[in-house]
C-alpha cells in the first residue's frame, strides 16, 4: 500500500487512515450511495433509460468518492481503479460471468428443467442494465474495495477472504426471497470468486466485470431470479421446474449445486494462480518480521 509521504501526519488524518475507520466511514458513504441508487431504480422502474442514467451518475459519484478518499485521506493513488488495462480486465470478467451463467443454464436445459417457451421483445433486455451497473460497481467498491482491503490490512488475505465472503453472502438475506442456503452458497461461490479476482489482479475491474455480467445475463437474457430479489422477465420466456438443489428454487440459480460447483471451481483456480504469483498478503506480524 502506498502511504502518505509525510512521516508525521496530523492525528485526525492518522485516525482516518486506520483500516477500521475506513471501513466504517467510507463503507457507510458507499453503502448510503448504493441505497440511494437502488431507491432511484425503484422510483424509475417503468423508465429504464432514466434509471440507467441515474445509476451511471450515482456510480460515477461513488467512484469519485472512493478515489478521493484514497488520494486525500490515505495519500495514495487508487491503483485498484487505475484505467490502464481496465478494459481488458473488465472485458475478461464480463466474458467469464456470461460464460459461467450460460453454462449453468445449458446444464439445466440438458436436464430438461429449463424449457424455452419463446422470446420477449428485445427491449426486455434494457431494464437489467441499471441493476448490473449498480450491483457490479457499488457492491465491488463496498465488499472488495473497502471491506476486503480493510480487513486484509489488519489480518491478512486469508482472514479477509473469509470475512468479506461471509458478509457478502449473508447480506443477501435482506432480499425478499433470501434464504440461509442461498446466503451460504453466495458466500462460497461468489465471495471466493470475486475476492480471488481482486487478489489476483489487485484491481477491481475483473470482479466488477464478472459481477455485472452474471447479474445481467441471469436477468436480461435467461429471465432468472437474481439472488432472491429481482424477478423481472428478460429476453427468454422460460419455464423452470425441478428440485431446488438443481434450480435454486425461489432464490434463483445461485442457490443451486450447479452454480455452486462451477463458480467455486473457477474461484479456486483464480486463487491458486494468485498464490503462485505471490499476491497473498500475510498477517501483519509476518510482514514486519521480513
* Domain coordinates in residue numbering, the chain: 84-289
Phi-psi region of 252 (alpha: psi -120 to 50; beta: other; left: phi over 0): left
Exposed, middle or buried: residue 192 (CB in 10 Å: 0-12, 13-18, 19+)?
Answer: buried
Grouping H, G, I as helix, E, B as strand and the rest as coil, residue 120 is coil
Does the pLDDT value for residue 286 go beyond 70? no
pLDDT digits (tens, 9 = 90+) for 129-181: 999 999 999 999 999 999 999 999 999 999 999 999 999 999 999 888 889 99
State the CB neighbour count (10 A cutoff) for residue 174: 11
If you average pLDDT over residues 48-69, what whole number do you get?
97
* pLDDT value for 4: 47
Q: How far is CA 99 from CA 56, 105, 128, in A?
A: 25, 10, 18
Q: Pick 282 or 140 by higher pLDDT.
A: 140
CA distance linking residue 55 with residue 51, whole number of Å = 6
- Candidate from 85-89, 227-231, 236-240, 261-265 with smallest mean pLDDT: 227-231
Q: Give the length of the chain.
A: 290
Residue from 220, 186, 197 nearest 93 by CA = 197
* pLDDT value for 3: 47
* pLDDT value for 285: 62
Say if CB 193 and CB 105 are below 8 A apart: no
State the CB neighbour count (10 A cutoff) for residue 44: 18
Percent of the chain, pLDDT > 90? 84
Does the pLDDT value for residue 289 go beyond 90? no
Say if CB 211 and CB 189 are below 8 A apart: no
Exposure on the CB side of residue 82, measured as CA atoms within 13 A: 10
pLDDT digits (tens, 9 = 90+) for 256-275: 999 999 999 999 999 999 99
* pLDDT value for 290: 53
pTM: 0.92
Say if CB 225 and CB 216 are below 8 A apart: no
Residue from 5, 161, 142, 160 nearest 77 by CA = 5
Close Cβ partners of 143 (under 8 Å, ≥ 6 residues apart)? 164, 167, 168, 194
Tell me how far apart the terminal alpha carbons of the chain are, to the nearest angstrom.
Answer: 16
Amino acid at each position: 500500500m502506498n502511504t502518505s509521504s509525510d512521516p508525521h501526519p496530523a492525528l485526525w488524518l492518522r485516525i482516518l487512515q486506520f483500516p477500521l475507520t475506513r471501513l466504517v466511514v467510507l463503507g457507510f458513504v458507499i453503502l448510503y450511495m448504493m441505497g440511494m441508487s437502488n431507491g432511484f431504480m425503484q422510483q424509475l422502474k417503468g423508465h429504464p433509460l432514466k434509471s440507467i442514467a441515474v445509476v451511471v451518475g450515482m456510480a460515477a459519484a461513488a467512484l469519485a468518492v472512493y478515489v478521493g478518499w484514497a488520494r486525500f485521506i490515505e495519500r495514495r493513488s487508487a491503483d485498484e481503479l487505475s484505467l490502464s488495462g481496465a478494459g481488458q480486465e473488465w472485458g475478461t470478467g464480463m466474458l467469464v460471468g456470461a460464460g459461467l451463467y450460460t453454462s449453468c443454464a445449458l446444464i439445466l436445459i440438458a436436464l430438461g428443467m429449463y424449457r424455452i417457451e419463446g422470446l420477449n421483445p428485445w427491449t426486455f433486455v434494457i431494464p437489467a442494465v441499471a441493476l448490473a451497473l449498480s450491483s457490479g460497481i457499488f457492491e465491488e467498491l463496498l465488499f472488495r474495495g473497502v471491506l476486503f482491503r480493510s480487513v486484509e490490512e489488519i489480518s491478512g488475505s486469508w482472514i479477509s477472504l473469509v470475512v468479506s465472503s461471509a458478509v457478502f453472502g449473508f447480506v443477501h438475506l435482506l432480499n425478499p426471497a433470501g434464504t440461509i442456503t442461498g446466503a451460504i452458497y453466495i458466500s462460497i461461490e461468489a465471495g471466493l470468486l470475486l475476492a480471488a479476482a481482486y487478489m489476483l489482479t489487485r484491481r477491481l475491474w475483473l470482479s466488477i466485470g464478472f459481477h455485472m455480467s452474471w447479474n445481467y445475463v441471469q436477468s436480461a437474457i435467461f429471465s432468472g431470479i437474481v439472488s432472491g430479489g429481482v424477478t423481472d422477465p428478460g429476453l427468454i420466456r422460460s419455464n423452470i421446474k425441478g428440485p431446488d438443489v438443481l434450480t435454486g428454487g425461489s432464490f434463483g440459480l445461485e442457490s443451486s449445486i450447479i452454480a455452486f460447483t462451477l463458480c467455486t471451481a473457477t474461484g479456486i483456480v483464480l486463487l491458486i494462480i494468485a498464490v503462485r504469483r505471490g499476491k497473498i498478503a500475510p498477517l501483519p506480524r509476518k510482514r514486519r518480521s521480513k
